[in-house]
Structure 1
Amino acid sequence: MTTSTDKLRNIGPKSAAWLRQVGLRTREDLAAAGTVEAFMRVKRAGFKPTLNLLYAIEGALQDCHWQEISEARRGELIAAAEAAIALLPPPRYKPAAAPVTTTQMGEDTMAMPTLFDEPAERE
């Protein structure tokens, strides 16, 4: 029987939506990808998953509450996820915009025409 990720133990609505968006729609899809690969697909898609998602996926696959996952297994999952994250290309940051300054025009300064000013009449 095919079980939707919407119905899996530990997988809430937000996590289920993330998993669907990366092509993991059933328990079978999740099992085929594996815990770390499923987590990495979500991360590579631009979402910001936490370790709770990693544990939730493992718990869903093991059919246990995520808090029941042993410390040793959690350590293995973290190490594998960190190794996979290290292989990701560095994020592309957009350079910060230059600071915006406002110039006040005084009465003694001649106003510059703008695109919306009426053109001067020609003689």
Structure 2
Amino acid sequence: MSTGTKLRNIGPKSAAWLRQTGIRSQEDLESVGALAAFVRVKRAGFKPSLNLLYALEGAIQGCHWQEIPDERRSELVLAAGDEVAKLPLPKNKRMPAAAPVKTVHLDGEDEGDMPGPGYGFDDPSSSRDD
């Protein structure tokens, strides 16, 4: 990631993301770990896919990302889900405040009237399987 250093499995875009999060070398990646590096990228506001997580693990293990065993992939995905869930939502992704509730009355109904039997749902006590 520093000039002339290329991590296995890591393309230019991912390398730029990692540099911006302080990971600039194989040693940096190994000291941080694949999961923490992935979470740093997410926290920085980038939108990496799980392939980056596998690629980071592969870079640490010295293998192609597709060679990461399924069991290890599952561990990484579960751990990443837990860690990413702890991250605060970006301001533009927070839920908006709920709008005021508006009550609509149908013609002929008073505010206190309840709909009569047969309105919307069947009465389960009236159906019998004889």
Please report the TM-score for the alignment, with normalisation by the length of structure 1: 0.70
Question: Aligned-pair distance for 1:90?
Answer: 2.4
- Alpha-carbon contact 1:6-1:16 (below 8 Å) kept: no
Distance 2:88 2:10 in 1: 28
- 1:54-81 deviations in whole A, cap 9, x for unaligned? 0000000001000000000000000010
Q: Which 4+ residue blocks in structure 1 deviate beyond 4 angstroms?
A: 3-6
Q: CA deviation at 1:89?
A: 1.4
Tell me how many residue pairs correspond in the alignment.
Answer: 93
Structure 1 portions without partners, runs of 5+: 96-123
Give the aligned partner of residue 40 of structure 1: 39
| C-alpha distance in 2 between matches for 1:15 and 1:6 | 14
Write the deviation string for residues 63-108 of structure 1: whole angstroms up to 9, x where unpaired.
100000000000000001000011111232277xxxxxxxxxxxxx
AA matched with 1:44 = R
Give 1:72's aligned residue. Answer: 71
- Partners of 1:79 and 1:6 lie apart in 2 by 30
Q: Secondary structure of 2:92's match? A: coil
**Partners of 1:55 and 1:87 in 2: CA distance:** 21
Task: Indicate the residue corresponding to 1:58 in structure 2.
Answer: 57
Instruction: Indicate the RMSD between aligned Cα atoms, in angstroms.
Output: 1.8
Query: Distance between the aligned counterparts of 2:12 and 2:5, measured in 1?
Result: 7
Residue 8 of structure 1 aligns with an amino acid whose one-letter code is L
Give the Cα–Cα distance (whole angstroms) in 1 for the partners of residues 57 and 36 of structure 2.
Answer: 11
1:24: which partner in 2?
23
Identify unmatched segments of 5+ residues in structure 2: 97-130
TM-score (norm 2): 0.67
Match of 1:91 in 2: 90
